[in-house]
Chains A and B, each alone.
Chain A
Amino acid sequence: MISRPTTPQLLEAVCAELEARVAPAVTEPAVRVVIDMAVAVLRGAAVRSANELAWMRKEADDIEELARRLVAELPGATALAAALDAYAGAKSESRYLADALEDYHRASEVLSCACEAVYADGDPARKQAVSTLFDQRMAHEKVVIGEFVAAGRT
């Protein structure tokens, strides 16, 4: 496998050509918008390819850690306990994206259940702890997208 140029570098090269050579030659406004959208999607994909496995693992680890604490503190949070069990029982060390995604999805269900549990409980500190996990996820997504401006809207 040729590791350099990296996937982000390959995608950036495609974006650069689309912007510098293809887009100026396109006169049809609707097609031009499609190129703008494609470049935005490719740039996001470049960032994801460089980071997403690490991000998913880090988020899942942090979710698991908080969920274990919440399960100990909130005996009535049965849905959370079940989701955590499902996550921990199926956790994989695989480095294939498909396997990492399955882990991440199970961790996401744990996060959803944690959120519902802390809203039901009402304790501000617990809500803040869950909110921090959402902030972490948002920060990663923001790095992927950057500033979103609707393409084609004038």
Chain B
Amino acid sequence: MNQYKIYYDAFQEAKWFQSLNSEFENAELLPINQAQNSEALKLLRYDKPDIILLKNEIAALALEKTTEVPTGHNVGQRFARIVCSAEEKVPFIYFFPFVAMKHGEYASACWINARLLEAMKKLREIHSTPIVAINWECDNKYELIRDGSQDLFLREVINDFVKHDFKSEPPILKKAYEIMRIKYQEALTRHPQYSDLPPTAREMITKYYINTLKAKYGDLKFNGLIRSRTKSLIYDIGMKYVRSDPYTGTQLIYDYLLARKGTTSKERTMNIVLRMPNISSTLWKKAVAKKNRKDIKLYTKFADLIELSDGIIIL
């Protein structure tokens, strides 16, 4: 008999996930922040997903569930944990609404940022791992469906994963990927600007960019890899103190969407440059001095160069 463990961030989500398939009926439910198991820990290197499923002590699946439409500052908020799963070759399901009503004084329907769907596709292709977005459907007034029927397709997907022992691409994913493709195309039709560079990113010829830096900071030694890439992607990060959201996730989305061609951060067509004009070297050093900071870990692991207000960091 298969033994399952469900690591959870929120108890009600563990119970919900457990109810999605009868195979998980006797699963052990464990809080994710007390995880000691190396198979669970390997998926917590950047941040934590809502659910990690172990089958016979092996990481089988990770899942994120949210009622929020990934748009505005939320687009990349959860992307680092998806990247971690892809790097570890563990399938990841991201269950969220592609469109839903945003309530409040300025209530309106809120649509997904198409770049997320495309970045997830690239992530899946580069790491050859199932990475899938599943739509939490809404009704014709854009209110989220909450009667249980919103989980039906997700149940089918999980059932197919169980049937195929989480080891290969279950056939149902073709359907899920096709939905992602259609939704991406629809989003592009609605907002053609999604096919252009995002407003906070711009491409520069590396040689010219390096010259600008040299003019500012004198003779700097850039490694061969940086110099070898003709173009650099400059991501403008406007934060006034060093923090994570939404920048680290956005950085990873831009990386996969625009620059990445292989599984490691060395395999890029363009350099990733993080430009932080409001962060001084003193502020940066102060942040770095604090151990185990997720934001510092992600900024430095996935960039080639960081330009601060008064200096640069070559990574």
User: Are A and B interaction partners?
Assistant: no
Chain B residues close to A by CB (< 8 Å): none
